[in-house]
Amino acid sequence: MTGRSPRKSLNQGQGAARRLFRRALTVSALAVAVAGMTGFAASSAAQAAETGKVGLGLPLLTSPFWESYNNYLPVYAKQMDISVLAPVNSNNDPAQQITDMANMVNQGVKGIVVGPIDSAAISRALDNASSKDVKVVAVDVAPTQGKVAMVVRADNRAYGEKACKYIGDHVPSGKVVQIMGDLASVNGRDRSEAFRSCLKHYPKLSLLEIPAGWKGDVAASALDSLLTANPDVKAIYMQAGGVYLAPTLQTLRRKQMLFPAGDPKHVVIVSNDGIPQEYDAIRKGEIDATVSQPADLYAKYGLYYVKAALEGKTFKPGPTDHGSTIVQLPSGLLEDQLPAPLVTKANVDDKSLWGNTLK
């Protein structure tokens, strides 16, 4: 006779039932665990979003000035206990900067400190950030449209005026070259217009201009051509020593026009930025002066104001407690105008200048 006995079949059936029950318990436990882990992850993500990180947008890193600014950011972020993402370099591309800022917003940042490349184009990125309640502080360049919590900047018209007055006081007559920045940037426009306007008070000086767009190779090529046609140039104003210093000195050297200060053939040169390389050139007599644009204070107060904005603090025009003045721009934005001293051979070794504190 074939087949299983009734007792054996019953025992096997009970065993199968027990195994199925244990599997069900295991699956249920796993489901609870996964749900718990998912809940924990969601909770962590929510906590991170609530705490909020700050995004950092750099316009470029081909300039020693912006390299210095970038190096100061983690120092001050740590001092102020601000959680920051790794800085993003937009490589002097306005479209890329808009994309970079959108990516930061998508990552859930609560604030952004950015150095605008194009004063008008950045409005798209600012509008997007504002729609997500992301606070933005603009450093070095003021947007012409869009909303920011604060602009941290020095008076760029004063840059052009200081350079003009130094040249006007040291060059009796002759041709003066202005190597301009990007005129799509309010900085380039402010420096250019102020220098041009001031130079009218020195009728024996004539102006030649090079629109170089913050690009050293463009400045070098245009200056080479200009000096070929005008070998009697007496002075040069460089709107950004970080990108124009090396190519300008190389061009003058190649043209056999680089003579030290004090030599009758010396071409008077005034720059903007305040980087260590400019200070070394002043000490050597290769250039005469620069306006120290405060890379350290840009980083410090860019972070200071974004933290204040996240805490709901607001500001009004007037003197600050750190030696600057907040002004209201025609656009309605507030700008903290930080001090930017003129540096010459007389004060180039001043230890309070940020360019002398770098190692």
User: How many CA atoms, within 13 angstroms, populate the side-chain half-sphere of residue 133?
Assistant: 6
Query: What would the two tokens of residue 275 be?
Result: 């980087």
pLDDT < 70 positions in the chain: 1-51, 359
Residues whose CB is less than 8 angstroms from the CB of residue 317 and which lie 6 or more positions away in sequence, other chains included: 325, 326, 327, 328, 334
Question: With contact defined as beta carbons under 8 Å apart, do 115 and 138 qualify?
Answer: yes
CATH code for the part of the protein at 156-292: 3.40.50.2300
CA 26 to chain centre: 55
Instruction: Compute the distance between CA of residue 295 and CA of residue 212 in angstroms, rounded to an integer.
Output: 22
Q: Kindly state which CATH superfamily the domain 52-154+295-338 is placed in.
A: Response regulator (3.40.50.2300)
Residue with tokens 């904005």: 309
Instruction: Compute the distance between CA of residue 339 and CA of residue 351 in angstroms, rounded to an integer.
Output: 16
**Closest by Cα among 152, 151, 113 to 129:** 113
pLDDT tens-place string over residues 51-109: 479 999 999 998 899 999 999 999 999 999 999 999 999 999 999 999 999 999 999 99
**Closest by Cα among 177, 340, 181, 343 to 276:** 343
Residues whose CB is less than 8 angstroms from the CB of residue 313 and which lie 6 or more positions away in sequence, other chains included: none
**Closest by Cα among 111, 125, 159, 112 to 274:** 159
Per-residue burial over 273-283, b if 16 or more Cβ lie within 10 Å, else e, is bbbbbbbebbe
The amino acid at residue 252 is L
The amino acid at residue 82 is I
Residue with tokens 């600050």: 320
The amino acid at residue 67 is E
CA dihedral 302, 303, 304, 307 (to 10 degrees): 130
What is residue 135's predicted lDDT score, i.e. its pLDDT? 98
What is residue 151's predicted lDDT score, i.e. its pLDDT? 98
Strand, coil or helix: what is 183? coil
What is residue 71's predicted lDDT score, i.e. its pLDDT? 96
Domain boundaries, the chain: 52-154+295-338, 156-292
Region for 140 from its dihedrals, namely left if φ exceeds 0, alpha if ψ lies in -120 to 50, beta otherwise = left
Same fold, 52-154+295-338 and 156-292: yes
Phi, psi of 311 (to 5 degrees): -90, 0
